[in-house]
Structure 1
Amino acid sequence: MRFFALKGSEQLGAAAARALSIDLDPHEERDFEDGEHKARPLVGVRGRDVYVLHSLAGGEGVSANDKLCKLLFFLATCKENGAARVTAVVPYLAYARKDRQTKARDPVTTRYVAQLFEAMGTDRIMTLDVHNFAAFQNAFRCESIHLDTRKLFAPLIGKLAGDLPIAIFSPDSGGVKRAQLLKEALEAETGKEIGFGFMEKRRSRNVVSGELFAGDVADKAVFIVDDLISTGGTVLRAALACRERGARAVHAIATHGLFGKGADVLFGSQAIDRIIVTDSVDSAAVAKARYPQAPLDILPIGCLVGKAIRRLHAQGSISDLIGIDD
């Protein structure tokens, strides 16, 4: 096995490597004055099972496009130099939200990104809590592996709720399935009945509307669940609605903490008690440092990623790892 982590994903890569009880393999990345770049492995890859980790969230000084291009070229380089199999380990997959046409002549960018990976000779892609699981699976013709974080978040939910009854809440209809799966995982772990709810959200030309609210949250600890938090507007809107209906505590849970422009409003709100994300992208740690008083907790995922890579390399079961029933 060879395992590389590209620039910007080194910390997560190192954590996954520790879980594998190996060191990250060395590689070179060079940026040129005209904006072009070169990257290459500094160890032989011929005949090897190669894993390349890079999380594709844009950040300060680097765009998602830059990261995507560098990852694609590095995967192709490994294939060019004789790798037997190349797996892209992409905890956060850029453009996964644009998986369908919502306006006339819209792009379906998720599918275009999949075609780019396949054109580079990628044999397999692994990602974490993608925006739309079905769209992800349908976009890729190469093998696609999807990890989720239910087993990571479940113990923390019980701890934060204390003696209060729990309700799992989706901030929009598109996340209902994700919230239901977490609800079922909690019920299996605790043996208790878990409440459930969601609210309506429609977005058109960046204007959000919809007032339908389903579920009983009064006197409960509510956990708003989403795949990502960007500006935080969707989560905050749901939190305020839950507070208006009598929620005793409100917590926000998301796998990917992007925390872009406007997230300061989320961190300054009294409507949310805790915000819990993973370290799938570096922007979560940046936000933690920038807003030290924010009620923000970051769960590590390096161990999960490392275990998944080990199972893939040994032809083991991913379903068993993340708790999917046969």
Structure 2
Amino acid sequence: MELVTKKKLALIAGRANFELAEEVAEQLGVPLVDSNCSEFANGELHCKLGMSVRGSDVFIIQSHTATDEMSVNDAIMEHLIMVDAARRGSAKRITVVMPFYGYGRQDRKSEGREPITARLVADMFGAAGAQRLMSVDLHSGQIQGFFNGPVDHLVAMPVLVDYMRGLGDDLVVVSPDAGRVKVAERYSNMLHADLAIIHKRRLKGEKNQVEARDVIGDVAGRTCVLIDDMIDTAGTIVAAAEQLAEKGASRILAAATHGVFSGPAIDRLKNSPIEKIVVTNTLPLPPEKQLDKIEVLSVANIIADAIDAVFEDTSVSEIFGGQNQS
């Protein structure tokens, strides 16, 4: 007996960033499988997949973020439960798609008796049954080594670079701290722009406390774009922008993949010298966090292209010209 099988792609989404999942499904031309996620009266989560995934190549999309309906931890737990449901439904392969990787900043021990929670998250998804992981602009590349399986590290650079090309020729790409210099350098090379660096130090033992120090590079009278992977409380970005304003920058913009915008971020950005903040839709932007100076770009096509490449067993890094590997 000879059996010729067909590959089937199944796309499932959690509730944390359903709009992005819908965009990805539209780009791929496939329907979203209903995950039927809900809570019991005591707060426990439950999911029941709306169709058979037996023998399918399953991609489960969930951003690890807090919304009005759930916490970050709820979003991660919902993601894990959907993975378990797909595994027990006899999926052939399960890829977890995390546009934003929860706990990604806890990727090392900076002080004694601290956890490495980014590794714990990877371990949990492996235990749940995920065989492959896909994420956009991880906080650090070493997270790829935390998951015991293939990791597709996507970058939002093509989307952000396309936007920045319209900002004129006299452009300076600015790294808000020494840790982001490599990323800022890649942007400056692609844009044929100059590079500047904000030298700063973080106050030891104080969360979200940043002291900006000085600007290395020529920014006077020029358009400056601050590049970072995320904007959380906006302390780093605003302190850097104030330094650029003091040094005479004519225009100051900020570009980041993940717009977390927690705590005092919106007020800080509203009152900052930053003219425009450009982020992507890896995280949803609720109405209360929307400002006229915040612009959201979509990464749905990048995620869709990567999913298609994995499904077709072709190269993901070729989509980015290898820029996602450094």
TM-score surpassing 0.5? yes
Secondary structure of residue in 2 paired with 1:59: coil
Give me the whole-angstrom Cα distance separating, in 2, the residues matched to 1:212 and 1:97: 25
* TM alignment of 1:101-180, pairs within 5 A: 101-133=109-141, 135-159=142-166, 161-163=167-169, 165-180=170-185
**For residue 105 of structure 2, what is the amino acid of its counterpart?**
R
Secondary structure of residue in 2 paired with 1:223: strand
Structure 1 gaps, min length 5 = 188-192
Asked if the contact 2:211–2:239 (Cα under 8 Å) also holds between the matched residues in 1, the reply is no
Give me the whole-angstrom Cα distance separating, in 2, the residues matched to 1:107 and 1:308: 31
Match of 2:191? 186
Match of 1:190? none
The farther-off stretch of 314-323 and 237-246 is 314-323
Give me the whole-angstrom Cα distance separating, in 2, the residues matched to 1:210 and 1:29: 44
Q: CA deviation at 1:270?
A: 4.5
Q: CA deviation at 1:293?
A: 4.8
Asked if the contact 2:200–2:210 (Cα under 8 Å) also holds between the matched residues in 1, the reply is no
Asked if the contact 2:35–2:49 (Cα under 8 Å) also holds between the matched residues in 1, the reply is yes
Match of 2:90? 82
Match of 2:14? 6
Q: Does 1:62 align with 2:64?
A: no
Secondary structure of residue in 2 paired with 1:176: helix
Give me the whole-angstrom Cα distance separating, in 1, the residues matched to 2:22 and 2:213: 44
**For residue 177 of structure 2, what is the amino acid of its counterpart?**
D
**For residue 185 of structure 1, what is the amino acid of its counterpart?**
M
| TM-score under structure 2 length normalisation | 0.92
Secondary structure of residue in 1 paired with 2:48: strand
Match of 2:5? none
Give me the whole-angstrom Cα distance separating, in 1, the residues matched to 2:262 and 2:68: 10
The one-character-per-residue Cα deviations of 1:28-77 (angstroms, maximum 9, x if unpaired) are 11210111121021111111100000000123341111110111111011
The farther-off stretch of 222-231 and 18-27 is 18-27
| TM-score under structure 1 length normalisation | 0.92
When residues 198 and 28 of structure 1 are mapped into structure 2, their CA distance, relative to the original with a 3 A threshold, is same
When residues 198 and 209 of structure 1 are mapped into structure 2, their CA distance, relative to the original with a 3 A threshold, is closer
> What value does the CA root-mean-square deviation take over the aligned residues?
1.6
Give me the whole-angstrom Cα distance separating, in 2, the residues matched to 1:248 and 1:323: 33
Q: Does 1:225 align with 2:227?
A: yes
Give me the whole-angstrom Cα distance separating, in 2, the residues matched to 1:301 and 1:82: 30
Asked if the contact 1:169–1:223 (Cα under 8 Å) also holds between the matched residues in 2, the reply is yes
Asked if the contact 1:176–1:198 (Cα under 8 Å) also holds between the matched residues in 2, the reply is no
Q: Does 1:96 align with 2:98?
A: no
**For residue 196 of structure 2, what is the amino acid of its counterpart?**
F
Q: CA deviation at 1:209?
A: 3.1
Match of 1:323? 321
Give me the whole-angstrom Cα distance separating, in 1, the residues matched to 2:34 and 2:210: 46
Asked if the contact 1:150–1:185 (Cα under 8 Å) also holds between the matched residues in 2, the reply is no
Secondary structure of residue in 2 paired with 1:106: coil
Give me the whole-angstrom Cα distance separating, in 2, the residues matched to 1:65 and 1:293: 27
Match of 2:4? none
Q: CA deviation at 1:291?
A: 5.5
Q: CA deviation at 1:267?
A: 3.2
Q: 2:281 aligns with which of 279, 282, 286?
A: 279
Secondary structure of residue in 2 paired with 1:136: helix
Match of 1:295? 293
The percentage of counterpart residues that share the same residue type is 28
Give me the whole-angstrom Cα distance separating, in 2, the residues matched to 1:226 and 1:145: 20
Q: How many residues align?
A: 314
**For residue 310 of structure 2, what is the amino acid of its counterpart?**
L
Asked if the contact 1:171–1:201 (Cα under 8 Å) also holds between the matched residues in 2, the reply is no
Q: Does 1:304 align with 2:310?
A: no
Q: CA deviation at 1:152?
A: 0.7
